[in-house]
Chains A and B, each alone.
Chain A
């Protein structure tokens, strides 16, 4: 079977579909910009659309309230936002917020649900992807509980770097503090440490990755586990 895999389909899930299935989906796909800090959905809000990012990053954030939050997942062009729809629910408890601007293919949840149940490879692909998301959520949970802030920040930067395709990104301390579940002073100190080691440069909300192998050495095993699991989806 010929696969849709081609450089013209930047989203890796869509690119992994057989050509015919991709074409069936294509009529439902609409390209939209992903705007920094925009919410794609919020807790208890009916998910009316799902998104397959072409570029950019979306954070999945769980929380107790607006002030106490923790990132539980990151989605870039390797995945999709709105997996709950595939699982058969129409609302979920986390936020999906654009963390890095880019673009995505948007699809109506109703059309997506129908395509999932067609018995083609989409179902199998999404199951595999769900497993990788499950691993990511689990691994981030454990990492946030047990590892040092420096290691966690390094993991987060590497995961972001993988998905941004750019060495420089815009990020506030407050955002990092919400993602890592750490107070701002903690984030500040960890970023300072990484900067002193010349792994990153961070000033006025712009963060630049200077030494990627250095970050890889500074992070815990969680990064590689998540990465391996994620890349196994598209094989």
Chain B
């Protein structure tokens, strides 16, 4: 049965999974499953957002673009959340770029239809608000981490946050994308990745990364990772 399959697929996203049966049935006809390629831009900074995305296997990075073109990652979104919170908060645009950090699938829904469902004010509405709070926590903690911790620790945090949202242990990226994410120069990332590789935690060949020893990464990361993780579990359980 087509409908049953899509319900199952939709529930791979934690927010859709948390919606009531009635809400999900209402949303389902308007949810379209699409495959996203690495590096695809879902929206540009300041651009009107036509769709809201609920990733299932893809990971999206929210990047900030500076006047001089340099970028910094402010948050990462996977099957734990949604891309486009500005839509239901009443802002049509947002000053950041959303770019695919790991190829995969996502559901998308027209912004207007998302707004309609949100406005109904049920369980899904409350979940979206709690998610927004969790995302703000992630962004705040990322800010603290990027300001105060070593590149090695930041890379560990970033790898663990990504791994939590990945369907496998393998993350395919370009080196440029990785350095964009952390707002650190390429050489800085390359050195940090080499050290993690030497420790046997990851294998890393030109942006193709495999996580070999998650426990090792957890032992090297700063507390920022756990802070964010715990908050997500608490708010979205």
Contacts and interface: CB of A to CB of B under 8 A. Distances in A.
B200 interface: no
Contact of A88 (B94, B133, B227): B133
Given A64-B222, A124-B90, A117 B133 contact: no
A87 B146 contact: no
A140 B66 contact: no
Nearest to A145: B146
Interface in A183-235: 221, 225, 229
Interface in A99-137: 117, 119, 124, 127-128, 130-131, 133-135, 137
A87 B140 contact: no
B90 A131 contact: yes
Contacts of B1: none
Contacts of B137: 92-93
B4 interface: no
A128 B91 contact: yes
Nearest to B145: A64
Interface in A153-200: 181
A18 interface: no
A201 B167 CA distance: 56
Contacts, number: 115
Contacts of A93: 137, 140-141, 227, 231
Given A72-B143, A141-B140, A84 B133 contact: yes
A132 B220 CA distance: 35
Given A139-B95, A146-B66, A88 B148 contact: no
A41 interface: no
Contacts of A84: 133
Contact of B67 (A70, A92, A140, A221): A221
B101 interface: no
A139 B74 CA distance: 9
13 contacts: A70-B148, A72-B143, A89-B133, A89-B235, A92-B133, A130-B132, A134-B86, A134-B94, A134-B135, A135-B94, A137-B140, A145-B143, A181-B147
